[in-house]
Amino acid sequence: MAERIPLIAGNWKMYRTHQEAAELVRALIPRVADVSYCEVVVCPPFTALTTVAELLKGTRIALGAQDVYWKSEGAYTGEISPLMLKAVGCRYGIVGHSERRQHFGETNATVSSKIKALYDAGLIPIICVGERLEEREAGRTHEVVSRQIDECLDGLEEEKLAASVVAYEPVWAIGTGLTATPEQAQEVQAMIRGQVAALYKKQVADALRILYGGSVKPESIRALMAMPDIDGALVGGASLTVESFASIVHFA
């Protein structure tokens, strides 16, 4: 089986001005400097990307954006292109986050366009999928997640998918304090890997990193990381304080 390097990503959402972001990242750098067994990524708001990128130079922490538009330039007021993200030093871009799906009309089709646009600019997508509470309660988790995977990955070449990151984030666990149990997350993530193996081939599925996201805390990370199909975490609330994010990064 391919060796998958764990990845811990902090999604800061719409928190922190660029000054506050600088303060947070300055304090974080020395706290995770010794970590070599996993990749660490921070995804600040757009307005803080340049500031944070400067501070991250020469460190092992990578930069990601929380969203992107799929055109490289044009008359699209308010949007940010993959080329712009690349130019400020981003390596990753989150797409399909449930908050984008819920509040801003993100669909599997727009996620698919964004994934391709990120690759064209040399960026790696972190593709979010996950079911809502009523869908889980209706026993529709697999159906919903596998449709998201199917439609989001539509037409993506296998070498690109192998380098991608998927984040399984059950919507009912985001920002609620309700973490999925490691077994619940493992079950869906194994399903995702199986689906990718069926759609592409086993080597692609083996290389693909699948993160869990949804109320990840220092107390829950170890048990999650012990699961065979959990390759890291996308962390929201707990990524906003150095103490909790650093201790999540130190799961090993």
Which one of the spans 32-40, 80-88, 153-161, 231-239 is the region binding ligand PGA (CB under 6 A)? 231-239
Q: Which of residues 64, 125, 214, 232 is near ligand PGA by CB under 6 A?
A: 214
Closest alpha carbon to 246 in 4, 102, 22, 42: 42
Q: Which of residues 39, 106, 169, 229 is near ligand PGA by CB under 6 A?
A: 169
Q: Which is nearer to ligand PGA, 135 or 169 (CB)?
A: 169
Which two structure tokens, joined as six digits, stand for 151? 């439609």
Q: Which is nearer to ligand PGA, 161 or 238 (CB)?
A: 238
**What does the per-residue mask of binding to ligand PGA show for 113-152, with x meaning CB under 6 A?**
----------------------------------------
Kindly state whether residue 111 participates in binding ligand PGA, applying the rule CB under 6 A: no
Q: Which is nearer to ligand PGA, 180 or 204 (CB)?
A: 180
DSSP code string of 217-240: -HHHHHHHHTSTT--EEEESGGGS
Contact 4, 231 (CB under 8 A): yes
- Taking CA atoms, 115 is separated from 67, 86, 203, in Å, by 10, 14, 20
User: Exposure of 211 by Cβ count < 10 A (0-12 exposed, 13-18 middle, 19+ buried)?
Assistant: buried
Minimum distance from residue 159 beta carbon to ligand PGA (Å): 26
Minimum distance from residue 112 beta carbon to ligand PGA (Å): 20
Minimum distance from residue 198 beta carbon to ligand PGA (Å): 27
User: Exposure of 89 by Cβ count < 10 A (0-12 exposed, 13-18 middle, 19+ buried)?
Assistant: middle
Closest alpha carbon to 65 in 27, 138, 121, 149: 121
Strands (E), 69-172: 92-95, 124-129, 165-168
* Alpha-carbon span 3 to 24, nearest angstrom: 31
Active-site residue (options: 3, 23, 97, 143):
97
Kindly state whether residue 237 participates in binding ligand PGA, applying the rule CB under 6 A: yes
Which one of the spans 69-77, 108-116, 130-138, 213-221 is the region binding ligand PGA (CB under 6 A)? 213-221
Which two structure tokens, joined as six digits, stand for 108? 């599997």
Active site (annotated) includes residue 18:
no
Which two structure tokens, joined as six digits, stand for 32? 């995770």
Active site (annotated) includes residue 142:
no
Under rule CB under 6 A, which residues in 8-27 are in contact with ligand PGA? 11
Kindly state whether residue 106 participates in binding ligand PGA, applying the rule CB under 6 A: no
Q: Which residue has the tokens 């712009």?
A: 84
Q: Which of residues 55, 144, 174, 204 is near ligand PGA by CB under 6 A?
A: 174
**Interface ranges with ligand PGA (CB under 6 A):** 11, 169, 174-175, 213-216, 234-238
Query: Which positions are annotated as active-site residues?
Result: 97, 169
